[in-house]
Amino acid sequence: MGFIIHVPELQALRQACDFYGGIRAVALKAGIQNSNLSRWLKGEKTLSNQSVIKFLAAIDIPEGKVDTSKVLEWSINWIIDKKLSKGIELYFPEGEIELARAPWSRWGLDALLKQAMSLGRVSKDLPPEIYAMKQEEVRVVLRRTPGVPLTLKEFGGRVKWKEGSLEASAINISMLDLPWIDGGLSPDEFDRVWEGKNATMNDIVAYIENSQADTQEVLNLLKKKLPIKR
């Protein structure tokens, strides 16, 4: 049986590609022709059913269902001229979506300084703006160009600050939390930070085993004091 994709869904799928580096990057990840995917997203019949399956898996919607076994990792490195809501609705089709941010991801003097540093070509040393979204079992980390924070308006109407305001919705991460900065974040680590829990000894052992951390990194983790939400 063939896939029936309607035009509004194609628009959302095009925006979802932007979350994963753009159509070219998604096509490469899926192992399909970039030109065929681009034309298919415009409504042409240029992909086989098997290619559509590969495409959906590449944007973490295997067989049309969001992959909840992992943290979805999105990246936006372009200037936004529209809301992100169409793409977001593919992953969160109903209900309110909670949003949190890294402590440094807010407009202000720090953002302006990072923009200036980016112009000076030292942006590779700056952390991205980081946002976390969660609804039930769907978890998303969105990384944005350093110095260009997002506003709530750009996420669309169903996205709300986790704690009611931008100021209160900063998650407790630092620039040393590499899975948050660079990728490879596990659902357990996402949930631990999202819920404001302390790292347990099991968390530390798992971190050491999985990351080949050196002594200093382990000490940093042991010293970290995270608030426990009551």
Task: Give the per-residue pLDDT at 200.
Answer: 54
Residue 142: strand, helix, or coil: strand
| Superfamily of domain covering 1-65 | lambda repressor-like DNA-binding domains (1.10.260.40)
Token reading at 33: 């022709």
Task: Give the per-residue pLDDT at 79.
Answer: 57
Q: pLDDT averaged over consecutive 10-residue blocks of the chain (230 residues)?
A: 59 92 95 96 92 95 92 82 82 94 76 50 71 96 88 89 93 91 94 78 58 60 45
The count of other CB atoms within 10 Å of the CB of residue 152 is 15
Q: Percent helix, strand, coil in the chain (nearest 5)? A: 45, 15, 45
Task: Give the per-residue pLDDT at 9.
Answer: 85
Token reading at 157: 């109407």
Which phi and psi angles does 111 have, rounded to 5°?
-65, -40
Task: Give the per-residue pLDDT at 122.
Answer: 44
Eight-class DSSP state of 125: G
Residue 73: strand, helix, or coil: strand
**What are the residue ranges of helices labelled H in 59-129?**
85-91, 109-119
Give all strands (DSSP E) within the chain, no chain letters: 72-76, 97-101, 129-135, 138-144, 159-161
Q: What is the CA radius of gyration of the chain?
A: 19
Spell out the domain ranges in the chain: 1-65, 67-196, 198-230
Task: Give the per-residue pLDDT at 228.
Answer: 38
Task: Give the per-residue pLDDT at 23.
Answer: 94
The structure's pTM equals 0.77
Residue of 208, 203, 206, 228 whose CA lies nearest to 218: 208
